[in-house]
Structure 1
Amino acid sequence: MNAPTTERSALAHLELVLRQVRMEATGINSYEFVDPDGNELPGFTAGAHIDVHIAPGVIRQYSLCNDPQERHRYVVAVLRDETGRGGSRGMHETLRVPNRIKVSVPRNNFTLAEVASKFILLAGGIGVTPLKAMVHRLESKRIDYDLHYCAKGPQYAAFEAELKSIARSGKIYCHFDGGNPKNGLDIVKLLKHPEPDTHIYYCGPAGFMQACADAAAHWPQELVHCEHFKAPVQKAPAASDAPVVGYLVELAQSGRKLTVAPDQNLAEVLQQAGAPVETSCQSGLCGTCKVRYLAGVVDHQDFILDESERQSVMTPCVSRCSGGTLVLDL
């Protein structure tokens, strides 16, 4: 990788200057952050995101969409969501050039596997942002790819012209459905036949994510990758499900023991006890709170860890112990 993801604590932050805000499409602005002294920024890899501290207590995660080879700036794009929790409205309404903004160092839960011979990238609306960074990287490596960009119409497709202008080793396909998904890309047909040595990456709104997951269900699991912007709606527990129980947490480095009641959140218990655990999304999407565990049976409820990571890492913002004692490397 030409710009390895910086191995820093999730607690590390930068204070950057907002140098430029641009309207990229209807309801979508891009935000360019630079070092106030013109220094290089920590490197990042395609698919990485940063936490942006929009206001006191308001932290949101946004994918970096510029070329990972660039070390002088971070660029994110934000769709204003009137029905959201207020983060996107805060970005659109309050951030102004040349505000100084606190951001995290980049983290990557959506890493591009560069060993494949081809990539199929599926973007739904603002979900194009991490995939745009992947296009930059694949172009620099001259690796074959197809990007299918789905949106309501051209006026809603951020970066469409830029993507088409840089495409050399791959192809850009735009699918505009006028607001009716039935008139858009036939994802089932596109992914009907698994292709050897081909990886799928997809990102977008909930309905689009489910359509991609269903269409790719018969592909080998290791070839399919996704990133959610919002946590999928969890199904209500069935009457036959095991009841939620309390458990004991042991902090291995100090030997301290904490009790977590059935109705308590593990991350909150740790924070109240002064443990060095930071949270951001609080929905198992961003990885800010990831912590190693040394013993115990974990009920994983995140959307970012793969099965190998889950053998030793958990996200206490949403996950918990199934009972007994959980030993954390804290």
Structure 2
Amino acid sequence: MSTIPSNTPPAPQSARMDVTVETATRLGQVLLFDLRPLSGPLPAWQAGAHVDLFLGDGLIRQYSLCGDPARQDRYRLAVLLEPDSRGGSKAVHAHVRPGARLAIGAPRNLFPLRPGTGPAMLVGGGIGVTPLIAMAHALHEQGRDFVLHYVARDPVFAPLLRRTPFADRVRVHDRSRAEAPRFDPSGALADHAGTAGLSVYVCGPSGLMEAVAHAAGAAGVPPEDIHREAFSAQPVAAGRTFEVLAARAGLRVTVGGDEPITTALARAGLRVPVSCEQGICGTCVVTLLEGEADHRDSYLTDDERADQIALCCSRARSPLLVVDL
């Protein structure tokens, strides 16, 4: 089963580009906006890609490109105002307006469409539909068979999707309507019964992704043809304290039951670079020298977790973790 691949750090300072906001439209709690370059062309991108958005004061967040990849003159982003925002979505909603200038990183693709000619089933939950909109554009232009299932309690992208050239391929599942049946992954997959070479792409809440992945596997879709992208990691739940030893720095800290390892290290004077702070970008990944980690990220593979750890969200199963810092 394909998840976010590793070894793709945030864009370096030299890769930043200055852009201006051309349009900004509010769709309920979502801000949809187009970015144009201040000079020169924008780098080409492929469906599933995202960019780093630099929001000032060291705040960096990653957002999926959700426009048509064939349009290389602008980038389109959509940001949900999260009620428990850690600063990113609040900053976007407060400061992004037509004419505003921003800095972004070059597109990086951790959730690509796989090459081929077979059909695809796309499932987007809430704001997780954004990379799948770009995929739908790409599949339509390739002439490939596909269907896009959009599952949301407030399907704010529905009017936009009805205006696309692939509107007949879109199925909107409005969870705000009590009389509407819940999205059934098995039923959706049954529509593709007997179809050879089906690929499944899903992005959204973890429960939805697990349900789609399970149903796809039960329907006989090979694991390598089931692809998903996580927008967040498991929360750092309150629990017992443990210690972390930064081996090269010779620094030993106690990590509280409700704080990230990065916070405990920073309090002792050792700052680890962070970006998403949710275990999905890999910025804070370091080598784990000793100890047993409780991995909470959505970035590392099972093999990588044998000797690496994402410090922004992971915990410890042993009393002490020794890391290469």
Q: Which residue of 1 aligns with 2:48?
A: 47
Q: CA contact under 8 A between 1:24 and 1:159: conserved in structure 2?
A: no
CA distance in structure 2 between the partners assigned to 1:138 and 1:319 by the alignment: 37
Deviation of 1:325 after TM superposition, in Å, equals 6.4
Q: State the one-letter code of the partner of 1:74.
A: Y
Q: Which residue of 1 aligns with 2:252?
A: 259
- 1:212 alignment partner, SS class: helix
Provide, for residues 289-308 of structure 1, a one-character-per-residue CA deviation record: whole Å limited to 9, x for no partner: 344x3744544220233334
Q: Which residue of 1 aligns with 2:314?
A: 319
Where does 1:70-81 land on structure 2 (aligned, <5 Å)? 70-81=71-82
CA distance in structure 1 between the partners assigned to 2:141 and 2:303 by the alignment: 30
- 1:202 alignment partner, SS class: strand
Q: Which residue of 1 aligns with 2:148?
A: 147
Q: CA contact under 8 A between 2:25 and 2:33: conserved in structure 1?
A: no
Q: 1:33 aligns with which of 32, 35, 44?
A: 35
1:175 matched to 2:173? yes
CA distance in structure 2 between the partners assigned to 1:82 and 1:149 by the alignment: 22
Aligned-pair Cα RMSD in Å: 3.8
TM-score (norm 1): 0.74
Residues 178 and 325 of structure 1: is their aligned pair in 2 closer, same or farther, counting only changes over 3 Å?
closer
Residues 308 and 113 of structure 1: is their aligned pair in 2 closer, same or farther, counting only changes over 3 Å?
farther
Residues 75 and 156 of structure 1: is their aligned pair in 2 closer, same or farther, counting only changes over 3 Å?
closer
Q: 1:301 aligns with which of 296, 299, 315?
A: 296
Where does 1:225-244 land on structure 2 (aligned, <5 Å)? 225-232=227-234
Aligned length: 309
1:60 matched to 2:61? yes
Residues 129 and 258 of structure 1: is their aligned pair in 2 closer, same or farther, counting only changes over 3 Å?
same
- 1:281 alignment partner, SS class: coil
Q: Which residue of 1 aligns with 2:202?
A: 202
Q: Percent identity?
A: 33
Instruction: Indicate the structure whose relative CO is greater, using CA pairs within 8 Å and at least 6 residues apart.
Output: 2
TM-score (norm 2): 0.75
Q: Which residue of 1 aligns with 2:3?
A: none
Q: 1:280 aligns with which of 237, 254, 275?
A: 275
Q: CA contact under 8 A between 2:21 and 2:102: conserved in structure 1?
A: no
CA distance in structure 1 between the partners assigned to 2:55 and 2:124 by the alignment: 26
Q: CA contact under 8 A between 1:24 and 1:30: conserved in structure 2?
A: yes
Residues 152 and 41 of structure 1: is their aligned pair in 2 closer, same or farther, counting only changes over 3 Å?
same
Q: Which residue of 2 aligns with 1:3?
A: none
- Structure 2 alignment gaps of length 5 or more: 1-6
Q: Which residue of 1 aligns with 2:114?
A: 113
- Structure 1 alignment gaps of length 5 or more: 1-5, 238-242
CA distance in structure 2 between the partners assigned to 1:315 and 1:158 by the alignment: 39
Residues 156 and 143 of structure 1: is their aligned pair in 2 closer, same or farther, counting only changes over 3 Å?
closer
Q: CA contact under 8 A between 1:250 and 1:325: conserved in structure 2?
A: no
Residues 87 and 273 of structure 1: is their aligned pair in 2 closer, same or farther, counting only changes over 3 Å?
closer
Q: State the one-letter code of the partner of 1:261.
A: T
Provide, for residues 90-115 of structure 1, a one-character-per-residue CA deviation record: whole Å limited to 9, x for no partner: 32332222222122333333233334
Deviation of 1:64 after TM superposition, in Å, equals 1.0
- 2:42 alignment partner, SS class: coil
